[in-house]
């Protein structure tokens, strides 16, 4: 399998889960500005033009991070990276994945383009993110991880997005349980290996 990524972007979560699952894969770096990779035009691989994209040996492609995470986890059920299909817990995991995708991931996105948005709009986006983070922090006050006591795909995705806080100037200091969560994540070998493979800071 090939995992197309750009350093620090949202392919970090699938890479972490691939390592947790013990599945073999190759990382292929994409320049998101030029839409180029070592083989040429990335949009010939993924017409959407963004990462992550997981390519199989038959050259078929799976895109959208939440779906890729679930596919990987389902390939290694013994690792308990996501609850089984049909269980109430599976739908709770999907609920959290969707929340992170629509409320956090998309919430952070405008903050990468300060030249497009005015100061007032950026402040509005940061304030909105803080409300979402308060909910996450409250949840983590009573849970070691997002799904309870055990690490799951939800945690990989959440960590991936929270890493963007420094560069986008989102203040995490009010969220003590999020800080504890980030510390736990940084201690996982899969996270350390993924971060090193992308050449980014832990």
pLDDT in tens, 56-109: 999 999 999 999 999 999 999 999 999 999 999 999 999 999 999 999 999 999
Beta strand 2-5 with 26-31 is parallel
Name the pTM for this structure.
0.97
pLDDT at site 188: 98
Q: What are phi and psi of 124, to 5 degrees?
A: -60, -45
Q: What radius of gyration do the chain's Cα atoms show?
A: 17
Percentages (nearest 5) of helix, strand, coil residues in the chain: 55, 10, 35
CB distance 185 to 155 below 8 Å: yes
55 phi/psi in degrees, rounded to 5: -110, 130
Q: What is the pLDDT of residue 102?
A: 97
CA distance 126 to 159: 18
- Reported as a single tens digit per residue, the pLDDT across 150-194 is 999 999 999 999 999 999 999 999 999 999 999 999 999 999 999
Query: pLDDT tens across 135-151, in order?
Result: 999 999 999 999 999 99
Kindly list the structural domains of the chain, giving each domain's residue range(s) and its CATH number in brackets, ordered by start.
Answer: 2-79+191-198 (3.40.30.10), 88-188 (1.20.1050.10)
Token digits of residue 67: 């779906």
3-state secondary structure (DSSP) of residue 30: strand
């Amino acid at each position: 399998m090939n995992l197309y990524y750009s350093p620090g972007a949202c392919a970090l979560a699938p890479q972490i889960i691939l390592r947790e699952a013990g599945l073999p894969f190759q990382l292929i770096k994409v320049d998101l500005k030029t839409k180029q990779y070592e083989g040429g035009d990335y949009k010939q691989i993924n017409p959407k033009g963004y990462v992550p994209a997981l390519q199989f040996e038959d050259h078929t492609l799976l895109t959208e991070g939440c779906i890729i995470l679930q596919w990987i986890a389902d390939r290694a059920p013994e690792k308990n990276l996501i609850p089984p299909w049909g269980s109430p817990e599976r739908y709770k995991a999907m609920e959290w994945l969707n929340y992170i995708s629509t409320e956090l991931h998309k919430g952070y996105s405008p903050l990468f383009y300060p030249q497009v948005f005015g100061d007032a709009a950026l402040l509005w986006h940061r304030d909105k993110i803080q409300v979402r983070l308060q909910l996450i922090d409250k949840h983590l006050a009573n849970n070691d991880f997002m799904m309870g006591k055990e690490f799951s795909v939800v945690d990989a995705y959440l960590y991936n997005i929270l890493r963007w806080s420094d560069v986008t100037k989102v203040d995490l200091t009010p969220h003590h349980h999020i800080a504890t969560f980030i510390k736990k994540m940084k201690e996982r070998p899969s996270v350390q290996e993924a971060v090193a493979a992308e050449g980014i800071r832990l």
